[in-house]
Amino acid sequence: MSRVAENIKRWRQDGWPLVAALSFAQLVSWGTIFYGFPLFVVSMETELGWSRGLLNGALSLGLLTAGFAAYPVGRIIDRHGGRMVMSLGSALAVLLFTAWAYVGHPVAFYAIWFGLGLAQAGTLYTPVFAVLTRMFPDSFKIRITMLTLTGGFASTVFTPLIAWAIAALGWRDALLLMAACNLVFCLPVHVLLLRDRENPMLPQGKAADTGNAIPGRPMHKALRNPVFWGLAVCFTFYLLAHAMLIFHFLPMLNEFGITLAVAVAVITVIGPAQVGGRILLLFGRKIETVTTGYIVMALFVTAMLLLAAFPTVVPVLFVMAAVYGGANGMMTILRGTSVPDLLGHEGFGAISGALVLPASIAAAIAPSLAALIWELTGGYAAVIWTMLAAMLVSAAGFVFAVKVRK
């Protein structure tokens, strides 16, 4: 057998075809379930006469539902593997996108987005991170990095694809196309390829690493461990600042006199920078989680300081967007690797799900909170300083988690 054939055989035995398939499924799931919503707002407003507030309320309901469902989803994966959960999540996406295509009443629309929140909880990064950590306890970091590297292109691929479909087919048929994507590309991967019920990649007789856990059930151990609470503070305040920035960046730049074309160009830098940050971690995969966390927190604070100090200087705004995007790309991986590295592998799904809940609530209220601060202060300067303060609290939470672990 040639060396190439041996390498291919080893690649298959190591589970990389499954990782590749899951990565592509994540690309489709993120692109349709998460990034698709804003593209339908204007068309639905025009045809149905619903207000933008009513439409976005359904999205907030979906985000909150995903947050509250994350913990039970994680527990199910810990006990039974990810096949059932992720298959049901993709099946829900197929059914609910189809229902959305025929929606005509706000109550039905909110019910659909409640279900799509469950689909998010069952298909996006948190459950698939639990699956990879469960199946590949000795190599989950590189696999999570590769998966997020692919998922990072979700908005790049699906935003123009969905926009084209809406323009060419109409928004209702575009939703049917999104349902078909989940039916063809995601559901078969989760139903046919996932076989993680018995931890197939974990050697027989090898117990999962429990880190520095306290005796008791995994979730109870985590709740009594200060590391958990440090990570909870870190992720919650990070997502608070992140949602404020993402949903208000364009009007914020407009207020500071940046033209629409330049503002869009600045925002566009964030996506490729996220992928760049993940590529850096891929090449530096031997860097420990703690070091990665310190780098990410330093970059986030630096980006917020640049925005606060130079909100009208266009070259600095491009640098800020690149720094922020790189940090955000690495943060996705950090959220997947910090739990097993700082708290241990045992109960990863449930613990990760519990960490998602407060962060999801923060992300859901952040746009409204930023708008309230803007109204009370008469400008976005106070919003920027609020984001900086949130990122500092996030960094303090991570440092606390590391220090108490030691």
- The two tokens of residue 337 are 């690797």
Q: Cα separation of 95 and 172, whole Å?
A: 14
Burial class (CB in 10 A: 0-12, 13-18, 19+), 234: buried
Q: Length of the chain in residues, anyone? A: 406
pTM: predicted TM-score of the whole model, two decimal places: 0.77
23 neighbors 190 (Cβ within 8 angstroms): no
- Nearest Cα to 334, choosing from 289, 297, 303, 294? 289
pLDDT by 10s per residue, the chain, length 406: 566 455 445 545 567 888 899 999 999 999 999 888 878 888 998 999 988 778 878 888 888 898 889 888 888 888 888 889 999 999 999 999 999 999 999 999 999 999 999 999 999 888 888 888 888 887 887 888 888 888 878 877 888 888 899 999 999 999 999 999 999 999 999 998 887 654 544 443 443 443 444 444 777 887 888 999 999 999 999 999 998 888 788 888 888 998 888 887 888 788 788 888 888 877 766 678 888 899 999 999 999 999 999 999 999 999 999 999 999 989 988 888 888 888 877 777 788 888 888 988 898 888 888 888 988 998 899 999 999 999 999 999 999 999 988 6
150 neighbors 275 (Cβ within 8 angstroms): no
Q: Cα separation of 337 and 332, whole Å?
A: 9
